[in-house]
Amino acid sequence: MPDFAALVEKTGNAVVNIRTTERAKISQSGDITQDEEMQEFFRRFFGVPIPPTQPSPRGRKQTPAPEAEEEVPRGVGSGFIISPDGYVMTNAHVVDGADEVYVTLTDKREFKAKIIGADKRTDVAIVKIDGSNLPRLTMGDSDKIRVGEWVIAIGSPFGLDNTVTAGIVSAKARDTGEYLPLIQTDVAVNPGNSGGPLINMRGEVIGINSQIYSRSGGYMGISFAVPIDEAMRVADQLRATGKVTRGRIGVQIGEVTKDVAESLGLKHTEGSMVQRVEPGSPAEKGGVEVGDVILKYNGATIERSSDLPRLVGGTKPGTKATLTVWRKGATRDLTLTIGELEADEAGAAPQKKQKAPQKPNALGLSISDLSAAQLEALKIDGGVLIEASEGAASRSGLRAGDIVLRVNNTDIKNVSQFNAVVAKLEPKKTVLLLVRRGDSSQFVTVKPAQQ
């Protein structure tokens, strides 16, 4: 077993405790007044908020007590110093909603900190304390970490300052559904550890401890850290402008499964499948289409779907980018101008059913044509509406309301064309359908019923 003592002595004094407070209204009796939810309850059922009261002699009416704002504890977390002049990195959720932030060093000095900026997408925040010649940690390279290597975490679990725990890297680039893949470890991380550093055996920070997987609220053997490479890119922008600017191309994407890859003629299950292209977006202007599989971004291979948002997000808005896409059995390069990521995404027009369905075909689908109004509202130039699904189609997950846009490599315009294409399918061969559901599209594999 390795000896972590020298490593802790080298790095521990740059790890800080962070406590946050908020200003709450306190009655003269010392009780915190009702929160907003309780006030809303009284407003709805009694017409007006119930005022706070103070004790009075028996038989006399109680009168409203005067209120004053007072700092009350809000939360405790961790952080680490990244520059001698007092910049401290932590998690965005540690300082979110705080009115005041206090940073305590290992020598017990406490500073009131200023929040420089926070980015909820990556859960990274930067706060600043007034200081000089402060101890700081060295940043490592999270791209070079190896599964199985020893790491330690230093933080304040449950408010216990400078607690050290150790473990190994369990997985790299773990996709948890967040904006970027995280580092998974088995280092004990608990509430209060958030924002503290994950340190390798060379004394370098490779991540920020951010999340745990738990059914009880406590540590259960799995913890996650934000890779320090991405965290530093965010930190540099926060220090410069107080916010993070990201690129966007305006597509909704999904994973490329093994079945889809084989049906499309791809050798590997890699890339991002385009399920939706936002009208007027950089992607639409650059020629990206629903059903394209984005294989490369500026020459970088998209190994998993989540790689694309990270690469696009790291591109400065207004710059040119090249996408290599797989479309109908061949690759092509598309050039587009990167836009700026917005908080809200535009929705799409709802789908409506029209004509009576036909009898189920060999795929088990009953379909009808889309009206001109539907095509215009959905911003598509063809396709057929599924009215009912049974047999092979139903087993593949197709359902009423879905729209079939493509069969194998043939774009579908109407019912008659769809029926003609289906009639020529080989009975035992799997069919690849491009299907739109709601605002997004995806490939679905269906094995036709034998006739």
Q: Are 318 and 335 in contact (CB under 8 A)?
A: no
Q: Are 188 and 209 in contact (CB under 8 A)?
A: no
Q: Which of 249, 211, 449, 447 is nearest to 334 (CA)?
A: 249
Q: Are 296 and 302 in contact (CB under 8 A)?
A: yes
E strand intervals along 243-364: 247-248, 251-254, 272-277, 293-297, 300-301, 320-327, 330-337, 339-340
For the beta carbon of residue 427, count every other beta carbon within 10 angstroms: 10
The one catalytic residue in 78, 119, 123, 156 is 123
Q: How far apart are CA 193 and CA 161, in angstroms?
A: 10
Phi, psi dihedrals of residue 56, rounded to the nearest 5°: -145, 160
Q: Which of 128, 122, 129 is nearest to 92 (CA)?
A: 122
The answer to whether the annotation marks 440 as part of a ligand binding site is: no
Q: How far apart are CA 329 and CA 104, in angstroms?
A: 60
Summary count for the chain: helices (H), strands (E): 10, 27
The answer to whether the annotation marks 194 as part of a ligand binding site is: yes
User: Is-catalytic flag, 268?
Assistant: no
The one catalytic residue in 27, 83, 93, 96 is 93
Q: For residue 450, what are the contacts with CB-CB under 8 A and spacing of at least 6?
A: 427, 428
- Name 432's bridge partners: 445
- Name 407's bridge partners: 410, 433
The answer to whether the annotation marks 123 as part of a ligand binding site is: yes
The one catalytic residue in 142, 156, 170, 194 is 194
Q: How far apart are CA 325 and CA 331, in angstroms?
A: 5
The answer to whether the annotation marks 272 as part of a ligand binding site is: no
**Element housing 115 (H / E):** strand 110-119
Reading the block at residue 189, the tokens are: 């991380």
Q: Is 318 exposed, middle or buried (0-12, 13-18, 19+ CB in 10 A)?
A: exposed
The answer to whether the annotation marks 193 as part of a ligand binding site is: yes
Q: How far apart are CA 205 and CA 197, in angstroms?
A: 6
Active-site residue set: 93, 123, 194
Q: Which residues are annotated as a binding site?
A: 93, 123, 192-194
Q: Which residues are annotated as a binding site for substrate?
A: 93, 123, 192-194
